[in-house]
Amino acid sequence: VYGLLKRWETRLVLLGAGFLMCCLSLDPYAAFQQFDKSMTSGSLIIVICSAMGFAGVMNLTKCDLHLVALLTKPLNKLGIFLLPCCMIVTGIVSLAISSLAGMCAAIGPTICALMIRAGFRPAMAAATVVASTLPSFWSPGSSHNGFVAKLADWPIMDYLTYTGTRTLLISIACIIFMVIATLIFGDFKKGGFENDGVQDAANKVELPEKPNLLFAFAPLLPVVLLFAVAVWLPQFKISVATAMLVGVIYTLLVTRANPAEITRKFFDGMGRGYGNILGLIIAAGVFAAGLRSCGVIDVFVEALKGSSELAKLGAAVGPYVLGVMTGSGDAAAFAFNEAVTPHAAAFGLTIPDLGYLASCAATFGRVSSPLAAGVIVISGIAGVSPMEVIKRSAPVQICTLAFLFFIS
């Protein structure tokens, strides 16, 4: 925790702590075994690397910006109702852009400028963007979904079907809480606010004047394809990687981009996906192996046995607090789910339920942290302090987490 708070390299901290605990337990080989096991997790590699490769192609061809431009055009002159509309638009974009920082960079300038001009304070405009990513839990390419589905030994589309209603409910709850927060803070006024030091960042990302519908559909095609097959053609099994490759082929055809550039970008993105996301999962696995070697997991599991409510509370509070302290939802969720979630049955819970709660809690914690890269990016775009953004987003995230706790 000290290393993460000091902003040391997350993977280094998790690996180092895991190896140290294994050595102190006189079982150093456990760390190496876990490293090998996490490195060769086939289902996760397929999901995460293919999704990141596809994201790289979207960035190269600017199809993601066509989607942003298409979604934001009809939103002018809606008054305070602009806020829920912007959250829905940002949520749709989050299905295609999994990184919070990347999504903020892509859609933040447009949404912030739109909301500020409509009469919202810059801090609330920024908080609206970072609080809108819950629909990403519908994405088959989400690393958290793939991780929990693998723990449960479920097909990822079955897991998404199982958790889909909860994702819809917490997304709606988050929108309602954001509107209430806007009224409480007095962050909307017709005609806007003066002397806010707003940086109009609309020109930092140039959106297409006339978005191409075929280009705009490209980022959503894999998600649409996976859900369509799961709902209407369940006898045909389609993997996430297949859907992503179909998306790349479609993008190549409609954009007529250089095939060599597309191919290079796709595999570069796959490599970054392995290095950044799977690297974090591997490091979290070694950290969990250290906890197991020390007996910490056994003590924790024994303490929670027979009390599903206590286990649920631990899954909600623990990842949330760690996410706030570190600014990384991935580190918090992967560490908890690797170490504790496999024991869900001992608490009277299921792996999908406990894993989903922990993943969401970590995401809420990240959006409540001034250290999160996405929060820093969107604060810079809106021209406000990260603390001003967190002052608005954190209460909303806590209320949404409480809502999820009671419906789980």
Q: Is the pLDDT of residue 195 over 60?
A: no
Mean of the pLDDT values across residues 17-40?
89
Q: What is the pLDDT, as a whole number, of residue 226?
A: 75
Q: How confident is the model at residue 197 (pLDDT cuts 50, 70, 90)?
A: very low
Separation between Cα atoms, residue 236 and residue 238, nearest integer Å: 6
More confident residue, 12 or 331: 12
Q: What is the pLDDT, as a whole number, of residue 403?
A: 95
Q: What is the pLDDT, as a whole number, of residue 24?
A: 93
Q: Is the pLDDT of residue 306 over 60?
A: no
What does 46-74 look like in DSSP terms, one character per residue? HHHHHHHHHHHHHHHHTHHHHHHHHHHGG
N- to C-terminal Cα separation, the chain: 28
Q: Is the pLDDT of residue 326 over 90?
A: no
Burial letters 313-348, b for 16+ CB under 10 A, else e: ebbbebbbbbbbebbbbbbbbbbbbbbbbbbbeebe
Mean of the pLDDT values across residues 303-326?
76
More confident residue, 237 or 33: 33
Q: What is the pLDDT, as a whole number, of residue 77?
A: 66
Q: Is the pLDDT of residue 203 over 50?
A: no
Q: What is the pLDDT, as a whole number, of residue 53?
A: 87
Q: What angle do CA 216, 221, 224 make, to 5 degrees?
A: 125
Percent of the chain with pLDDT over 90: 28
Structure tokens at 157: 């589309």
Q: How confident is the model at residue 196 (pLDDT cuts 50, 70, 90)?
A: very low
The answer to whether 266 and 54 have CB atoms below 8 angstroms apart is yes
When the pLDDT of each residue in the chain is averaged and rounded to a whole number, the result is 83
Q: What is the pLDDT, as a whole number, of residue 272?
A: 85
Which range scores top for mean pLDDT: 3-17, 101-115, 294-308? Answer: 3-17
Mean of the pLDDT values across residues 224-243?
78
Instruction: Write out pLDDT tens, residues 140-188.
Output: 878 888 889 989 989 888 899 899 999 999 999 999 999 999 999 998 8
The answer to whether 358 and 330 have CB atoms below 8 angstroms apart is no
188 three-state secondary structure:
strand
DSSP label at residue 327:
S
Q: Among 63-77, 85-99, 240-254, which stretch is predicted with the lowest mean pLDDT?
A: 63-77
Q: What is the pLDDT, as a whole number, of residue 192?
A: 64
Mean of the pLDDT values across residues 77-87?
84
Q: How confident is the model at residue 58 (pLDDT cuts 50, 70, 90)?
A: confident
How many beta carbons lie within 10 A of that of residue 46, not counting itself? 17
Instruction: Write out pLDDT tens, residues 359-384.
Output: 999 899 989 988 777 887 788 778 78
Q: Is the pLDDT of residue 205 over 70?
A: no
Which range scores top for mean pLDDT: 2-6, 23-27, 56-60, 204-208? Answer: 23-27
Q: What is the pLDDT, as a whole number, of residue 106?
A: 66
Percent of the chain with pLDDT over 70: 88
Q: What is the pLDDT, as a whole number, of residue 200?
A: 44
The answer to whether 170 and 181 have CB atoms below 8 angstroms apart is no
Q: What is the pLDDT, as a whole number, of residue 400?
A: 95
More confident residue, 142 or 43: 142
Model confidence, pTM: 0.71
Q: Among 78-82, 99-103, 140-144, 303-307, which stretch is predicted with the lowest mean pLDDT?
A: 303-307
Q: Is the pLDDT of residue 211 over 70?
A: yes
Mean of the pLDDT values across residues 287-308?
73
Which range scores top for mean pLDDT: 87-96, 222-231, 308-317? Answer: 87-96
More confident residue, 192 or 6: 6
Instruction: Write out pLDDT tens, residues 173-182.
Output: 999 999 999 9
Instruction: Write out pLDDT tens, residues 334-351.
Output: 878 888 888 888 878 899
